[in-house]
Amino acid sequence: MTALLVALGAAAGAPLRYLLARLDGVFPRGMLLVNTLGSVAFGLFAALSLGEAAWALLGTGLCGGFTSFSSFAVQAVEAPRRVRTAYVLATTVLAIGGCAAGWALGAALV
């Protein structure tokens, strides 16, 4: 049952990632947005201390299907030199900051 919840969450997250990642240009702003929003959601869900089933659906499934470290890594390598450092720094700072913001929001709601 847990694996089914993960698959269901990923089935919702992956198409959302696909749609937002289409915003990419020379600067991969679509994946930057995806990974930032996904980090906010992940932090929020973590702070809410979801049960096992809800975590499987939302944390592992939805956020796992929505965000993509592998796309981030490939885009960081393929990006033009003038964009590469800004992209890596922006993604890292915004993802960690987004997770912290999501966590703070979740903690305030609990």
**Long-range contacts, 85-89 (Cβ 8 Å, 24+):** 86/27, 87/27, 87/28, 87/32
What pLDDT is recorded for position 30?
95
Rg of the chain taking only CA atoms, in angstroms: 15
End-to-end CA distance of the chain: 27
Q: What is the pLDDT of residues 26-49, one digit of tens each?
A: 899 999 999 999 999 999 999 999
Q: How far apart are CA 84 and CA 104, in angstroms?
A: 30
Number of domains into which the chain is organized: 1
Q: Which domain holds residue 46?
A: 2-109
Question: Tell me: the pLDDT tens digits for 52-87?
Answer: 999 999 999 999 999 999 999 999 999 999 999 999
